[in-house]
Amino acid sequence: MNIQTKAVHSGDRKQPQKQIPVATPVHFAASWVCSDQAEQDRIFAAEEKGFAYSRYHNPTNEALEELITSLENGAGALACASGMAALQHSLMAALLDRRRKVLCARDVYGATIKLLMDVLGPFGVETTFVDTGDLAAVERAMEEEKPGVLLLETISNPLLRVSDLPALAALCRKQGTALVVDNTFASPLLVRPLEMGAHIVVHSSTKYLGGHGDTLGGLIVSDEEHLEAVRRLSRIVGPVMGPMECFLTMRGIKTFPLRVERQCRNAQGLAAWLRQQPGVERVYYPDDPQHPDAEVVSRLLPDGLFGGMVSFELKNAQSKEGAFEFLDRLKLIVKATSLGDVHTMVLYPWISSHRDVSPKQKQRMGIRENLIRLSVGIEALDDLVADVAQALA
């Protein structure tokens, strides 16, 4: 079944009653009454499928989990309260029976770095950073560090690097390392990391999957090997998404293939236009033949679908103040912290997504004070071009 069809149908209309609701209902109950204590005993022991307490299972959550499992072609899923909660939970599950050491891509979201260093670090998890675009460097680091987890983003935030997932998965299998991939920027429409050898995939469902800026959430999709650990930990830790957020996320996912296709087309058009502007120093977009990962992009991303994110550097705004002037002149594009919504959004990584990353590390990552990140929406491309043009003037 094609992903567009899965997005519309998976998860819905599976309740056992005679009359089945067309859309999955929102189940607000915290707990369920069983027919007898023996049944409740079997449910708690996972010997029988059923519902007892929403920290364990909820019908609305289960429908969303079935949907995202179908989209990513995984063994099972867990719906979490935020993308960061999903990422932390994934790392904990992957490290349960492995060395408490993470090898992390150099090019990742700033909060991911903070999670590794400031949250997991004090609990004994060591982190080393590596350029995952350099396979030889990754192989050396894996042999030296013997990490329990290799963590990376499918398309990196904010410079849109694309790592060779099949090659990295092969290195992980060789070392017994779990490959955890944040697939938020790509979405399952562009890349499905589990098909390429990843063990656990994470999404901030707030972004492209929800798509409308009205719900917060995170999703974990696991292979068979790690699913029991993901689910068992969740019954103890309780990072689960609320049922209303699950309902809204499911509703958003039904149109995500249409939205992301349009966002990719708009982003490609806007990137092409930006490359011709005298006020723009450099454009970052994966369709560029000069992209550092162009060969990997040609293998991993579908033809014509390069993602909805565009980053670029302003030529005459080498400081924070210069970037502010450009941003404040934008009229249509929404100046807010997020991405993947139907409306185009702009973010200044220096003060937001990578605010807490040290200047030295920003320099190593290639993040400069004149860098702007756009999450391109579904509006008419001409209107987006006009807004950026007047802000650049």
Residue at a domain's end among 253, 285, 307: 253
Q: Are residues 290 and 228 in the same domain?
A: no
pLDDT confidence of residue 12: 78
Neighbours of 360 (CB within 10 A): 8
To which residue do tokens 């210069």 refer?
322
Total residues belonging to the chain: 393
134 catalytically annotated = no
* 285 has catalytic annotation: no
User: Residue 288: is its pLDDT beyond 70?
Assistant: yes
Tell me the mean pLDDT in the region 55-74: 96
| Confidence (pLDDT) at 18 | 65
214 and 319 share one domain:
no
Gyration radius from the chain CA atoms: 21
CB atoms near residue 5 (< 10 Å): 11
Q: Are residues 61 and 176 in the same domain?
A: yes
Domain extent, residue 105, equals 3-253
In this structure, the answer to whether residues 283 and 222 fall within a common structural domain is no
Q: Are 312 and 283 in contact (CB under 8 A)?
A: yes
In this structure, are 272 and 183 located in the same domain? no
Query: In this predicted model, what pLDDT tens digit does every residue of 68-112 receive, in sequence order?
Result: 999 999 999 999 999 999 999 999 999 999 999 999 999 999 999
Helices marked H in the chain — which ranges?
A: 3-9, 37-44, 59-72, 83-95, 110-114, 135-145, 165-175, 187-190, 224-237, 243-253, 256-274, 294-300, 320-329, 359-365, 381-392
207 is catalytic: yes
Tokens 């867990």 appear where?
A: 78
**CATH assignment of the domain containing 331:** 3.90.1150.10
* Least confident span in 58-72, 172-186, 361-375: 361-375
Which of 182, 223, 288, 387 is the catalytic position? 182
Catalytic residue, chosen from 42, 53, 55, 262, is 55
The stretch 346-370 carries a mean pLDDT of 89
Catalytic residue among 56, 106, 107, 109: 109
Q: Specify the CATH number for the domain of residue 216.
A: 3.40.640.10
Cβ neighbour number for residue 197 with a 10 Å cutoff = 18
Query: Does the active-site annotation cover 288?
Result: no
Instruction: Check 207, 231, 259, 362 and give the catalytic one.
Output: 207
